[in-house]
Structure formats: C-alpha cells, structure tokens
Chains A and B, each alone.
Chain A
Amino acid sequence: MRTKSMVLVLLLALVGAAPVVAQRPATGSWREAVRQIRDAGGVLPGHAKTGARSIRPAILTATVTQAIVTETEPNNTAPTADSVALGDQATGVVDPAADADTWFVDLIAGQYLSVDVDAEAIGSPLDAVLVLFAPDGSTVLASNDDFDGPDSRISYRVPTSGRYYVTIVAFGGMAGGPELQYAINFGTVVCAGAGTEQEPNDAPGTASRVAVGGSGTGEICATDANPAGDVDYWAFTAEAGTTLELDVDAVSLGLLVDPALALYASDGVTRLAFRDDGNGADPRLRYPIPTTGTYYATVAAGPDPGGNPFPYTLHVRALPPGPGDPTTVRAADLAFPLGLAVGSTGDLFVGEAAGNRVVRISGQGAVTTFAAGIELPLGLAFDAFGDLLVVSIDGTVYRVTPQGQVTPFITDAGFPFWIAVAPDGRIWLSDVSDRSLRRYSPTGQFETRFDAIAVGGSGPGPLAIGPGGVPYFSQGTEIWRLVDGRLERVFADGALIWAFAFDVAGNVYAPMPTAGRIKLFDATGTAVADPFAVGVDGPQAVAFGRDVTGVTVARLFATDPIARRVIEVNPAGVAHPGLPVDGGAAPFPVEAVAAALLGAGGLSAADLQYLDALGNRNGRYDVGDFEAYLNSVGGLPGAAASARRPGSER
C-alpha cells in the first residue's frame, strides 16, 4: 500500500474509524488528523509511541527456550556480535546511552526465523527497536519497532544459508541505562493452531466453514511449510438479494498488524471484492449477493505475507437492506476517492486523495483526469461561475476552469477542509486550524469568519448548504447550522457523519463511514431510514445527481474510499430531488441589478464583484455584466429557458 493511502486510512482512523477501538471520534480529531498528515512528512503518525497497546495474546507463543545467553560487551557491531542459536534466549541491557547490542545466528535457507523481544513483558521500561541484517552485516532485511505493545518482533524467511545479525537499540537510538533490560527469543516461527479454522485451509477445496451470522477465528502464520505466506479460506452460503458483510478483527485484538480480506465467487477463483482496511487497519467489506450459493472469504497478511503471525476473528453477516439498496458501482479502482461534486451536465467530479487529482466520471462511467497536480484534494464544490473549487491538503483552495486549468484561488485560510457554495454565490469553508467557518465573496474575497469551537466534537468538518442557503456542518456526530451568525445544533447521532447532502424537502442523507452505511434524517433530525443504504463500505461524501440541463434530480451518489469506488444508491429509494446546488438560484432580483447599473446602488462591493465575474471580468460592474446576468437568469427576450451561466459549459 502506498504511503498516502496509509496516511489517509490513518486520517479515517483518527476521525473515527477503527470503530472497535472507538466508535466516536476524539475531540478535535479532524484538526488532529489533518495536522498529523501535514506534519507526518511521509512518516506514518501511526508509528507514534504514545498509545501503544500492551495486550499480548497467548496465541503468539512460538518458541521453547533451550539456553539463556547473556550479552558480552562490546557487541555494538556485526564483527563484535554475540553468538546465539535458534531456541536460545538472549538477555542484555541497553546501556549506556545510545548502546546497541548485536547478536548473530546461523540459519539455513528457507527457515522462518522468529526474533521476539520481551522488555515491557518483563517489566523493563525499554522501548526496543529490532533490526535484522543480512550476512554482510550491513544490509537491512527487516525491522520492527512495536508488535505486541512496545515489544518488537520480526518473523522472516531467510533466503540463503548463512550468518544473520540482529541488533537491538532503544527507540530513537539515544536512550540507555541499567534499567533497560531485555530478553530476545530466537526461534523458528511456530503457529499456535488456535481458533475454529482447520488447517490446511489455504485453498477453496479445504476451506473452513462458517455460517452467515456467525464468526470464525484463526491465525495467519507463515512458516517453513507455507513460505509464500498463510491464506485462510472460509466458505459459507449466502442468499441472493442480501448484502453480505465480512469484518475482520485483528488490530482490535491488540496487535499492530495489517490483515487483508477478499471475497470470492462460488468458483473459488473469481475475486469479487478486496479490502485492506475498513475499521482502521482491520478490513471490512460489503457486497450485494447476486445469486444464492457458496462464497469464499480469505484472510491473509496485508503488506507482508511473511510477517509476524497474528490471530484474528472473521465475522460474516447478512445486513438488512435499506431503501437505497442495492447500490451500483459507477466507478471503481480509484485512488482513495473522497470529495464529490456533480457538474451541470450530470458528470461526477471526484477528488482522488491518493492520486493528487480530480477525475471526471461520465454518465457512461468513463473516468478521465479533469485536474492534476492538486495535492490530496479534500472538499469539492462548483462555484457560481461554473468553476470547480478544490480544497487541497496544502492549505490552498484551487479553482479549476471547465477546461481543467488549475490556479490558486483562496490562500488565506489556515487549514481549509471542506467547501460549499451558497445560492448567492458566496463560498463557505470549514477551517480546522482555528475551528471556524469562513465566508468569501463569489470571487474569493474574504468576508468574515465565525468561530465554531463552541460546537464541540471535531467541528467544524464537512459542510453543505441547506434550505434557505444556510450553511450546515458536521462536528463529528452532530449536525449544526449557522443562522444569522448564530450556531444551532440540528441533530445528533451516535456515529460519525461525513459530507452530507440535502434534498428539496430538507431531508439529510448522511454518510457514516465508521458505521458503514448511509442514514436518512428528516428536516427535524429524526432518523427516517436507518440504514438508508448498506451496500457501501465506508461512505465518505454524498451528492445528488443532475440531469444534462443542470437540474438536480432524485439520484444519490457516494464516494467509498476504502473500497476505491463511487457508487449510486438505488434511485427507487430516493424520494425527492436534491436541493439545487452550484448557485442555481438567481441571487438578486433583476431590478436590483439594473438599479445598481443605473446608479441607484443597493448592492455591496462583493455583489458587484460577483456580477463582474459572472460577466466580462474586467474589474468593474458594467453594462456587459448586466447583460450577462440577464442571460444567466433567462431575463432576455427569447432566452427565458437558457438560464445557463456563462462559463458553465462543462
């Protein structure tokens, strides 16, 4: 998995994913998430030392000690390394400061070496880092910081016979002291063989059985016997018309591992779905079952099939459908699709957060690059002039013309996160740097900010324009709105709510990535369909479709980043068209616009900028801008039906 994908997965985890660990987002988590991404600089914040788990499942006991060997200093380098044999336990102390202890062990090609540190497990304050070197003494083959709590472990299949070196240091490389004691268990990987699985089950024909509605437990354990890595097959019978959920718990059992999950058709070969993540690093997938029959799920180690063994639990569930089920896939294999906006001819515009671009998805499902080079796009919205505004992780809001030209547009926000455009053309941003809402003129001039710290939670996060042109936003598990400068809580729910959308009746379609569903609330905040749709793994943003004339219709789309796809819910379940977006309503009476041209005033400087930007963009409001406005609202004789805005020929 690429780093950025992992960073994004981490972002999701920080904002409330990994629901087995914590269903609710931590306070300030959007800000923290984005800050950590910004500060990470390519180093996954998940490797931070705080919060390391100390659970050590007994299932991982893999060796039987034959001898205890105490270190002999100096042993900082390969030439001075201490000798140890498989089955031995090496003991020592990381002392003095910046000490490194090196051990060597002679191995035979194909052996699965297991090097397992006990430090915290024996009461030592040492936070060990373990490195395995090749026989040349300098080539790093593997390393590990934390496995079971802060204690390190490496499982590695040696490619050639020879002498291998293992070095242990304190995290950061600088600590040391007589209290930093450790023991290292050298052995070959031995599987515990626990759980309900029945090995060998590495193929469909030997799959272990599990019932829908039940769970299976097992261990992913690569050994000398399966050098390519362990894959556990599970077989079950699923009914047509149901939405199947496969859900793995492993990280949530207390281990820093990364399992992967796949679903196969009845032939055992055709892969129907694959997930590496879902609940944080634990994978979860949803799949609508087309025909009744036997299906297969596989559980394996994600990035390193030969890595450390770990136990897991696989849950197999049939989810009751909502009115928005079944869902259909509109585009697949996207690089972490996050933000979503719908253009005036019905095409979908999706920010590929891991692809640093915005793609355009046609009505036929063709995916093309619309704008490239935008680092980690977050929120997307069309402005009043038909340009696409894209919030980037780099802190800039970019404007993309219908031809795909990208220019910086808003640069004075601290850390913009989400964006929406009101019917009057004004632009709203949520800024996670100071937890505020910021309002800009249609042409990007800053107008004012509203402090939103008082909403609590992680707010303000994703936002949308609701009925009456009022900005609504999520603070995590609650939806708030800003009315006449006052913050009002609209409703609350127990799960994380991401980028929601309104229909014309004021109903709210809320994507809930940690709950793995879209939920429908009425205008009062009462849940009227829960779930509305479950055929989506982790919905992140929803938006209503538009027809070829730009009219918002009763079709709802959602991004599903973990599943790398964009889906459409069952349109038969969508009762109303979406609330018009994209500044579709005329923001001013024609008479007011005319009066301003004829010298009567009445419009603000921002309004006049808007009108100029709508027209000839020459820096002042003039007769050409008035002509453009009349055209945009269908006010010209014989042009009543052509209310398309200039520049909105996308």
Chain B
Amino acid sequence: MSRSRWIFVMVAALVVGAACSDDPTGGGTQAGTVTLRLTTPHADDGAVLFEVSGPPIDTAIAVNASLRLFTRRTSGSTIVGVVVGVVANGAVVTLQVPDAGAPGYTARVLEVADRQNALRSSLTGYALTVGP
C-alpha cells in the first residue's frame, strides 16, 4: 500500500469514528435498553396485554425464549404489546431505546389471561415498571 493510501484510510477511519460518537441532540444521550418488569399476584399467568408510553422506543423483544411477544406502535411514543407464554414476576420485555437514560417511560397492564385462556376479572396486584 502506498503511503497516501494509508493516510486516506486513517482519515476515513477518523471521520467514521467521529460520526459514530456524534451526539445529534448535543445532550450526551446514550442509546441502550430498558426493561419492563411485571409484578403479578398469580403464578399461572399465560398472557399479558400491555401498553408503554414515553420517549421514543426503537424495538421490543421478549426477555427469554419461553415468551412470545407481539407489538404494535400506536404513535411515535406509545407501543401496545402482548406477551404470551410462561409469564412470571420479573423482567418480561426488553425495550431498545435511543436514550436509555431518558426519564418518563410509563407502562400499564391492560389485560391478563391465565394459562387456561381465562381472562383475569381483576388486575389488582398487577404492575408493570420500566427500569434499567
């Protein structure tokens, strides 16, 4: 490789590196993940319908292979989803977000069914929290 070509590669690498570390908001945000955690009074939940609102969300994935997740974006800042499978206390969904430190995510449980498909008549004791 000629010297000039090496210089070109180095310059290009620097440019790309600068671009990757660039902050479009200028506020020092950090893309990452947040987690939806379920609190449930039951041990046999089979499906949970939920809604998450707040800052932008890129994608959502189930936290493990025993769960299956379907989501729909209803607006730029709201996602509704259903997670089905062996649903238990603890993390259920991971959200990939552009600003993992952004405050203001809220989540709520809309419907829950047990593993025999019966709809819970009450959502008392259920909670869905968003955190790191």
Binding site for B on A (CB under 8 A): 591, 594-595, 597-600, 615-616, 618, 622-628, 630-631, 635-638, 646
B49 contacts across to A, CB distance below 8 A: 597-598, 622-623
Expressed in whole angstroms, the minimum distance between the Cβ of A211 and any Cβ of chain B is 68
A599 contact from B80, B85, B112, Cβ within 8 A: B80
Known pairs A598-B80, A598-B81; A627 contacts B117 (CB<8 A): yes
Q: Chain A residues near B18 (CB, 8 Å)? A: none
CB pair B82–A618 under 8 Å, yes or no, is no
Give, as a whole number of angstroms, the nearest-CB distance from B95 to chain A.
16
Known A599-B72, A622-B111; judge A616-B118 contact (CB<8 A).
yes
> Which of B67, B68, B72, B113 contacts A624, CB < 8 Å?
B113
Contact check, B84 vs A626: say whether CB atoms are below 8 A apart. Answer: yes
Q: Does B25 contact A (CB under 8 A)?
A: no
What are 9 A-B contacts defined by CB distance under 8 Å?
Answer: A597-B82, A598-B49, A598-B81, A600-B72, A622-B111, A623-B49, A636-B85, A637-B65, A637-B68
Contact present for A624 and B74 (CB under 8 Å): no
Q: Is the Cβ of A637 less than 8 Å from the Cβ of B67? A: yes
**Does chain A have a CB within 8 A of B66?**
yes
Query: How distant is the Cα of A278 from the Cα of B67 in the complex, in angstroms?
Result: 61
Q: Report whether B72 and A595 are in contact in the complex, using a CB–CB cutoff of 8 Å.
A: yes
CA–CA, A86 and B111, complex, Å: 92
User: In the assembled complex, which residues on chain B have CB atoms less than 8 Å from the CB atom of A636?
Assistant: 68, 84-85
Contacts A600-B72, A635-B68 aside, 17 further interface pairs with beta carbons under 8 A come to A591-B70, A597-B82, A598-B72, A599-B72, A599-B80, A622-B113, A622-B119, A623-B82, A624-B46, A624-B114, A624-B118, A625-B117, A627-B47, A627-B115, A627-B117, A637-B65, A637-B67
Which of A591, A597, A623, A638 is packed against the most chain B CB atoms within 10 Å?
Answer: A623
What is the minimal beta-carbon distance from A355 to any residue of chain B, in angstroms? 37
| Contact status of A623 and B112, CB under 8 A, knowing A628-B117, A646-B117 | yes
B71 contacts which chain A residues (CB < 8 A)? Answer: 598
Bound together, the chains give a CA A624 to CA B115 distance in angstroms of 8
CB distance from B26 to the nearest CB of A (A): 35
Q: Which residue of A lies closest to B72 (CB)?
A: A598
**Residue of A615, A636, A638 with most partner-chain B CB within 10 A:** A636
A591 to B118, CA, bound (A): 21
A625 CA to B80 CA, complexed, in Å? 17
Looking at the complex, which one of B72, B80, B117 makes contact with A615 (CB distance below 8 Å)? B117
Which single member of B80, B81, B84, B110 contacts A627 (CB below 8 Å)? B84
The yes or no answer to B52 lying at the interface (CB within 8 A) is: no
In the complex formed, the residue of A with least CB distance to B47 is A627
A residues within 8 A CB of B115? 627
| Min C-beta distance of A416 to chain B, whole Å | 31
Residue of B nearest to A618 (CB): B119
Least CB separation from B62: chain A residue: A637
A621 to B: closest C-beta gap in Å: 11
In the docked arrangement, what's the CA distance between A628 and B119, Å? 11
Within 8 A of A (CB), among B29-55: 46-49
Taking a contact as CB atoms closer than 8 A, the residue among B67, B68, B72, B111 that contacts A623 in the complex is B111
State whether A616 touches B82 (Cβ < 8 A). Answer: no
Closest Cβ of chain A to B16, distance in Å, is 37
User: Which partner residue on chain A sits nearest B74 by CB separation?
Assistant: A599
Shortest distance from the beta carbon of A410 to any chain B beta carbon, whole Å: 25
Set of chain B residues within 8 Å of A595, measured between Cβ atoms: 72
Contact A627 B46 (CB under 8 A): yes
B81: which A residues are within 8 A, CB to CB?
598
CB distance from B60 to the nearest CB of A (A): 12
For residue B46, which residues in chain A have a CB less than 8 angstroms away from its CB? 624, 627
What residue of chain A has the Cβ atom nearest to residue B85's Cβ?
Answer: A637
Q: Does A627 contact B113, Cβ atoms closer than 8 Å?
A: yes
Chain B residues near A627 (CB-CB < 8 A)? 46-47, 84, 113, 115, 117
CB-nearest residue of chain A to B48: A623
A636 to B82: give the CA distance in the assembly, Å. Answer: 13
B68 closest partner in A (C-beta): A637
Q: Which residues of A contact B67 (CB under 8 A)?
A: 637
Partner pick for B47 among A591, A626, A637, A638, CB 8 A cutoff:
A626
A640 to chain B, nearest CB (A): 11
Complex interface: chain A residues within 8 A of B66 (CB): 637-638
Please, how many angstroms separate the alpha-carbon atoms of A626 and B81 in the complex? 12
| B residues in contact with A631, CB < 8 Å | 117
The residue of chain A having its C-beta at the shortest distance from the C-beta of B79 within the complex is A598
* CB pair A624 B84 closer than 8 Å: no
Task: For the complex, give the distance between the alpha carbons of A635 and B72 in Å.
Answer: 18
Q: Which B residues from 55 to 97 make CB contacts under 8 A with A?
A: 65-68, 70-72, 74, 80-82, 84-85
Chain B residues, CB < 8 A from A622? 49, 111, 113, 119
Which chain A residues border B113 with CB–CB below 8 Å?
616, 622-624, 627
> Which one of A591, A624, A637 lies within 8 Å of B117 (CB-CB)?
A624
Cα A319 to Cα B94 with chains together (Å): 72
Top-10 shortest CB links A-B? A624-B113, A594-B70, A598-B72, A627-B47, A624-B117, A623-B111, A628-B117, A623-B49, A624-B119, A623-B47
Q: Which partner residue on chain B sits nearest A595 by CB separation?
A: B72
CB-defined contacts of A630 to chain B, threshold 8 Å: 68, 84
Separation in Å of the A265 CB from the closest CB of chain B?
A: 57
Q: Which residues of B contact A624 (CB under 8 A)?
A: 46-47, 111, 113-114, 117-119
Establish whether residues A616 and B68, one from each chain, have CB atoms under 8 Å apart when the complex forms: no
A628 contact set on B, CB distance < 8 A: 117
Provide the bound-state CA to CA distance between A618 and B71, in Å: 24
Assembly CA distance A598 to B69 (angstroms): 12
